[in-house]
């Protein structure tokens, strides 16, 4: 497969997953902001600045002051000049899909082209002012449609492997960023106050809802949706598709299918090590253990894998690595 085509389908997957997760986070934090009370010890303590930190957009939106709800929603939803906004991600995904129209199926192209046209509609601007629920629902529905069409209409070849790989790397990266910001390292016991634990639990529940994992968690975890169990679920649960462990496993499988000899591919070997490390941590982490160091270590390894993917498959072929976001 041509390196340029591999690059374009890889970033097509990344941009669409980024758009979906951004919509989920905005929707979740918007509802939490509306429903929360300052005097409630279980209130979500995630702020709009926290969301900008997750997306790596603090300097672009409010570099010198606290962020306000409406400006963050506007900047991360429909602002075409903000590279991490939903609209910008969809536009770049559509442009990537246009260049590989002979690689993806016709239904996939029509789906993403319609998605992009919908994000350009004038009605979305007024909808954003009156209530962004319908916009985020639209984004989630259109991305789900695209991936459903991918599974049903696209040949299981190298192109699909790179498409899936891009999506799974972005999903793992986004969930890790959310965990790092929403559930930072716990303080020493002598520094704790009576509100820290319940508010960490509130953040964990909001995060679980933001990735669409609440029902899956309640069906599989024999524990309340508090910070510890939710963290373990989003980090280790391989039966939940958007957990870090499941995304890494899918990413490893996709790149393995794209290789003639996976044992000779540095990114495949690194991903195998990350997957094995997550499995080891899952079985050996003590109940109540602080997993924040694992967030940093796994994200560092994923960043290294991303660099290796870029060097092995895309470099030297006139393609440019695309960046955006990061906590």
The model's pTM: 0.88
Q: What is the pLDDT of residue 51?
A: 82
| pLDDT > 70: percent of the chain | 82
Q: How confident is the model at residue 320 (pLDDT cuts 50, 70, 90)?
A: very low
* Terminal alpha carbon distance of the chain: 33
Q: How confident is the model at residue 318 (pLDDT cuts 50, 70, 90)?
A: very low
With a cut of 50, say whether residue 85 has pLDDT above it: yes
Q: How confident is the model at residue 186 (pLDDT cuts 50, 70, 90)?
A: low
Q: Are 207 and 179 in contact (CB under 8 A)?
A: yes
For residue 223, give both structure tokens: 């524990």
Picking from 12, 175, 202, the residue whose alpha carbon sits closest to that of residue 94 is 12
With a cut of 70, say whether residue 64 has pLDDT above it: no
| Residue 126 three-state SS | helix
163 or 49, which is more confident: 163
Q: What is the pLDDT of residue 300?
A: 95
Q: Are 72 and 5 in contact (CB under 8 A)?
A: no
With a cut of 70, say whether residue 44 has pLDDT above it: no
Which of the 8 DSSP states describes residue 241? T
The count of other CB atoms within 10 Å of the CB of residue 64 is 5
Residue with tokens 């540095």: 266
With a cut of 80, say whether residue 36 has pLDDT above it: no
Phi and psi (nearest 5°) for 79?
A: -75, 110
Q: How far apart are CA 227 and CA 222, in angstroms?
A: 14
Q: What is the pLDDT of residue 27?
A: 87
With a cut of 90, say whether residue 20 has pLDDT above it: yes
The predicted-structure confidence for 227-262, as pLDDT tens digits, reads as follows 889 999 999 999 999 999 999 999 999 999 999 899
Q: How far apart are CA 244 and CA 68, in angstroms?
A: 30
Q: Are 51 and 178 in contact (CB under 8 A)?
A: no
- In this prediction, residues 265-285 reach a mean pLDDT of 93
The sign of the CA dihedral 34, 43, 25, 250 is: negative
Q: How confident is the model at residue 109 (pLDDT cuts 50, 70, 90)?
A: very high
With a cut of 50, say whether residue 144 has pLDDT above it: yes
Picking from 27, 65, 62, the residue whose alpha carbon sits closest to that of residue 46 is 27
Q: What is the pLDDT of residue 142?
A: 97
Average pLDDT taken over every residue of the chain: 85
Q: What is the pLDDT of residue 121?
A: 75
Q: How far apart are CA 144 and CA 44, in angstroms?
A: 28
Q: How confident is the model at residue 66 (pLDDT cuts 50, 70, 90)?
A: confident
| pLDDT > 90: percent of the chain | 54
């Amino acid at each position: 497969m041509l390196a340029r085509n591999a690059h374009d389908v890889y970033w097509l997957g990344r941009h669409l997953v980024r758009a979906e997760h951004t919509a989920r986070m905005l929707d979740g934090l918007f509802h939490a902001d509306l429903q929360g009370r300052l005097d409630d010890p279980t209130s979500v303590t995630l702020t709009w600045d926290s969301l900008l930190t997750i997306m790596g957009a603090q300097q672009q939106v409010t570099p010198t002051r606290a962020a306000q709800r409406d400006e963050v929603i506007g900047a991360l939803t429909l602002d075409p000049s903000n590279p991490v906004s939903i609209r910008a991600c969809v536009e770049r995904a559509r442009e990537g899909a246009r260049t590989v129209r002979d690689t993806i199926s016709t239904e996939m192209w029509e789906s993403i082209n319609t998605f992009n046209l919908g994000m350009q509609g004038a009605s979305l601007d007024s909808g954003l002012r009156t209530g962004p629920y319908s916009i985020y629902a639209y984004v989630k529905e259109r991305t789900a449609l695209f991936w459903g069409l991918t599974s049903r209409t696209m040949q299981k070849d190298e192109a699909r492997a790179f498409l899936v790989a891009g999506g799974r790397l972005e999903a793992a990266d986004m969930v890790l960023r959310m965990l790092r910001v929403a559930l930072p390292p716990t303080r020493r016991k002598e520094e704790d106050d009576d509100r820290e634990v319940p508010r960490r639990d509130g953040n964990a529940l909001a995060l679980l809802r933001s990735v669409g994992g609440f029902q899956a968690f309640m069906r599989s975890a024999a524990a309340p949706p508090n910070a510890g169990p939710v963290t373990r679920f989003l980090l280790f649960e391989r039966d939940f598709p958007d957990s870090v462990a499941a995304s890494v496993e899918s990413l490893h499988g996709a790149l393995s299918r794209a290789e003639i000899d996976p044992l000779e591919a540095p990114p495949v070997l690194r991903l195998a090590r990350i997957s094995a490390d997550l499995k080891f941590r899952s079985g050996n982490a003590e109940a109540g253990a602080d997993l924040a160091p694992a967030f940093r270590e796994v994200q560092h390894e994923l960043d290294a894998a991303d660099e290796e993917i870029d060097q092995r498959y895309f470099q030297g072929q006139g393609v440019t690595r695309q960046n955006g976001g990061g906590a």
